[in-house]
Chains A and B, each alone.
Chain A
Amino acid sequence: RKEVEQDPGPFNVPEGATVAFNCTYSNSASQSFFWYRQDCRKEPKLLMSVYSSGNEDGRFTAQLNRASQYISLLIRDSKLSDSATYLCVVKRNNNDMRFGAGTRLTVKP
């Protein structure tokens, strides 16, 4: 079993839709959590950190449930430019970051 598991996707949604991605992690000692975005044939880039209290950045909302070892990302009013692969990332108690396999999102007109 992988340390970080994500929805397999792909998600195909129309513009303006709300879409949610889920992620679970197996290492209860994990300390920090992130969502990265990767465009096709590009490098991953940090989208947002995930805090225990939940956090919002514009149309994006991230939630963390430590008890269930579960992370989510909600995208509201999706845009064509949101089309990408979203990677769930979990950091252990050092610099070791583990990436999920990613969930591909395609937003269609």
Chain B
Amino acid sequence: DAGVIQSPRHEVTEMGQEVTLRCKPISGHNSLFWYRQTMMRGLELLIYFNNNVPIDDSGMPEDRFSAKMPNASFSTLKIQPSEPRDSAVYFCASSLHVYEQYFGPGTRLTVT
């Protein structure tokens, strides 16, 4: 079975550029989560969707960040404009039941 798929796996961009991260959840899962992980702050929940509807985006750091889930099999996290402090590993996770979230391999973002 294919797990959660994220692309790209690595992204290096310059400050001010737009960055789009992509996620394909496990087929049949109805919840999708975006996390950010840094050494300083650990793993932070940015936003999550239930049945493609955003439920809680209180973790989104600021207006430069936006997330969409146009259908059950695809989600994007966009940063515009990007800043060096956005450098982190961004994980997407999906779940069907509340007990376990399945994480993708992550996107390592570096903003110079």
Q: Is A66 in the interface zone, CB < 8 Å from B?
A: no
Query: Are A46 and B101 touching (Cβ within 8 A)?
Result: yes
| A positions within 8 Å CB-CB of B | 32, 34, 42-46, 49, 87, 91, 94-102
Chain B residues, CB < 8 A from A45: 103
Q: List 11 A-B contacts (CB under 8 A).
A: A32-B98, A43-B91, A43-B103, A43-B106, A44-B91, A46-B99, A91-B98, A95-B31, A95-B50, A95-B98, A96-B45
Given contacts A32-B99, A44-B103, contact A99 B42 (CB under 8 A): yes
Residue from B33, B48, B95, B98 with most neighbouring chain A CB atoms (10 Å): B98
A48 to chain B, nearest CB (A): 10
Q: How far is the CA of A79 from the CA of B8 in the complex (A)?
A: 34
- The verdict on B25 contacting chain A, using a C-beta distance below 8 Å, is no
Q: Nearest Cβ in chain A — how far from B89, in angstroms?
A: 8
The answer to whether A96 touches B101 (Cβ under 8 A) is no
- Category for how many chain B residues contact A: 20 to 34
Binding site for A on B (CB under 8 A): 31, 33, 35, 42-45, 48, 50, 55-56, 91, 95, 98-101, 103-106
Q: Given A95-B31, A95-B55, A95-B98 in contact, is the A44-B45 Cβ separation under 8 Å?
A: no
A101 CB, min distance to chain B CBs, angstroms: 4
A interface majority secondary structure = strand
A43 to B55, CA, bound (A): 23
Q: Nearest CB to that of A99 among chain B residues? A: B43
Instruction: List chain A residues, Cβ under 8 A from B105.
Output: 42-43
Chain B proximity of A3: nearest CB distance (Å): 11
B42 touches A102 (CB 8 A): yes
Closest A residue to B6 by beta carbon equals A43
Considering the complex, give the chain A residue whose CB is closest to the CB of B41: A101
CA–CA, A94 to B42, complex, Å? 21
Q: Kindly report which residue of chain A lies nearest to residue B42, judged by CB atoms.
A: A101
Query: What residues of chain B lie closer than 8 Å to A43, measured between beta carbons?
Result: 91, 103-106
